[in-house]
Structure 1
Amino acid sequence: MMGPVLAACLLIILSTAWISQANGATCKKDGGVCTCNDQTKNVDCSGKMLTAIPSNIPTDTDNLKLNYNKLRELEPTAFHNLKELTYLNLDTNQLQTLPAGVFDELKNLENLRIQQNQLKSLPSGIFDKLTKITNLDLNDNKLERLPNGVFDKLTQLGTLYLNNNQLRRVPEGAFDKLQNIKDLRLDTNPWDCSCNDILYLSKWIREKEGKVNGIESATCVNKKAVLEITEEEAAEDCVYPNTTTAIPTTIITTLASSNDDDIPELPVPQENFQKFLGYQEPDHLPTQPQCLMSISGYLGLMMFFVLISAAILYVIHFLKKA
């Protein structure tokens, strides 16, 4: 009767080993693409041409590098199991949006880098849970506006990079809660100094001049320094649309008052027409590391089932003899 017992033990051992391998498949030592350091709790997935965040990143990871990949979007729960993270690097990807709540579980995060992506806007409250963060890099994106109160909870923030974006204004009080800010980069944005919305930023820069590095370099579209703008110069009441697709009122009025025969036929680029219909190009084909991971996963799964089948047959054989 020792045969079935040995077979059952073998079955348990094989199952445990396979599950352990599957759970650790992120790291190179287990067939994954990332480099993991158990001592420092660092996981380096940078420069792997990834289009998705690898699954099964160790939950005790402290430092996670995902920079220099091809990430276009993030799942809202992408980092919810990584509550020990203090450093997260997402720079030099292709992110166009950030889902609301994606950073909500990273309450120990101190350094977040999202520079050199394609972000045009930020969801309201996207950073509200990051109360320990001291460094936030958003430079080299395409940010056109900031939500009201987007930095209000970041009272420990010391460094904030917003340079090289498309910002024309910031909301009233945008930086008032940044009690520990020491370095704030605002240059290379098309600050609109003809609208009175710029007066908050101009006054804030004057008050913090010499206390916060980098702020004096903010210039208007006419190259004049933002801190030098007066109320007379910024007299207009400007209203900025939330999107770049807003149609000017003059165009709507003209079209409404015209006969159908008078409206010229405008050529529509094929790619715009496809986007209008909801057509999307298929995603990138799997990269070589991802293919290797998939193949190794399937082979491991097949081997697992073969071994289980053999163990079950072994048990049945001895049960019949018994």
Structure 2
Amino acid sequence: ETKKEVDCQSKGLQAVPPGIPVDTAMLRLDFNKFKSLDATAFASLGSVTYLGLESAGIDRLSAGVFDRLNNLDKLYLNDNRLQSVPHGAFDRLGKLQTIDLTSNPWDCSNCSILYLSDWIRENANKVKMDLGSGNFQTDPDGVTCSDGKVV
């Protein structure tokens, strides 16, 4: 059985559209204009294993936004405008194997960065950088602050 894919890339979306089938496994929302993702954005999408949010214009994640994604194993948040993530943002992602957080202006002058810094250290093998053509490199030091220091 093929996994259900929903491709909403490059649609100029400002919010996750309603009506995404609950059995969706691969959700591509890259290259949109979200700004923020609210806590219920993915509430009914527990089957999603792949969530693409690359270059999606995101500058804020609401607390709990990923909490219902218990099957998620790949999360792409690279090339956004994130300066921090809510405390506990990734704690419920028990199946996560790959996360790309590169190319965000992380604000390391704010103590809210401590959760992310600790999470990266504890999950270093999951923090990867996309090298293109489906190739990834484990790169926890590739997640850098807006001042260039490693998160």
Q: What interval of TM-score do these two structures reach, taking the shorter chain for normalisation?
A: 0.7 to 0.9
Q: Is 1:42 equivalent to 2:9 in the alignment?
A: no
Equivalent of residue 160 in structure 1, options 127, 135, 139? 127
What are the superposed Cα offsets for residues 156-191 of structure 1, whole Å, 9 maximum, x if unpaired?
x633148xxxxxxxxxxxxxxxxxxx8124246533
> Are 2:96 and 2:126, in contact at CA under 8 Å, matched by a contact in 1?
no
Report the TM-score, using the length of structure 1 for normalisation. Answer: 0.39
The separation in 1 between residues aligned to 2:106 and 2:46, in whole angstroms, is 28
- Select which of 10, 16, 22 maps to 1:53: 16
CA distance in 2, matches of 1:148, 1:141: 16
CA contact (8 A) 1:122 1:147 kept: no
Matched, 1:151 2:106: no
SS at match of 1:151: helix
Give the Cα separation in 1 of the matches to 2:92 and 2:114. 15
In structure 2, C-alpha distance between the alignment counterparts of 1:161 and 1:118, rounded to whole Å: 18
**Distance (whole Å) between structure 1 residues aligned to residue 107 and residue 128 of structure 2:** 15
Q: Is the 8 A contact 2:62 2:86 kept in 1?
A: yes
Per-residue deviation, 1:138: 0.7
The residue type paired with residue 139 of structure 1 is T
- Cα offsets for 1:50-103 (capped at 9, x unmatched): 111110100010000000111111121110100011100011111111100000
2:149 counterpart of 1:186:
no
Higher helix share: 1
Paired with 1:158 and 1:56, the residues of 2 have a C-alpha distance of 34
Using CA pairs below 8 Å that are at least 6 residues apart, which structure has the higher relative contact order? Answer: 2
Other structure's SS at 1:158 match: helix
Q: 1:161 to 1:143 in 2, by over 3 A?
A: farther
The percent of aligned pairs where both chains have the same amino acid is: 36
| Among candidates 138, 142, 148, match of residue 105 of structure 2 | 142
Residues paired across the two proteins, number: 134
Structure (1 or 2) with the larger CA radius of gyration: 1
**Which ranges in structure 2 are unaligned for 5 or more consecutive residues?**
130-136
| 2:64 maps to 1:101 | yes
Cα distance in structure 2, aligned partners of 1:143 and 1:51: 22
Q: Secondary structure at the match of 2:88?
A: coil
User: What stretches of structure 1 of length at least 5 have no aligned partner?
Assistant: 1-37, 163-181, 192-217, 219-322
**Which structure 1 residue ranges, 4+ long, deviate > 3 Å from structure 2?**
none
2:48 aligned to which of 79, 85, 91: 85
2: CA distance between counterparts of 1:102 and 1:46? Answer: 19
Query: Does the aligned pair in 2 maintain the 1:89–1:114 contact within 8 Å?
Result: yes
**What amino acid maps onto 2:42 in structure 1?**
F
Q: Distance in 2 between matches of 1:128 and 1:39?
A: 29
Q: Given that residues 66 and 90 in structure 2 are in contact (C-alpha distance below 8 angstroms), is that contact kept between their aligned partners in structure 1?
A: yes
Cα distance between partner residues in 2 of 1:124 and 1:56: 29
- Contact kept in structure 1, 2:31 and 2:57, CA below 8 Å: no
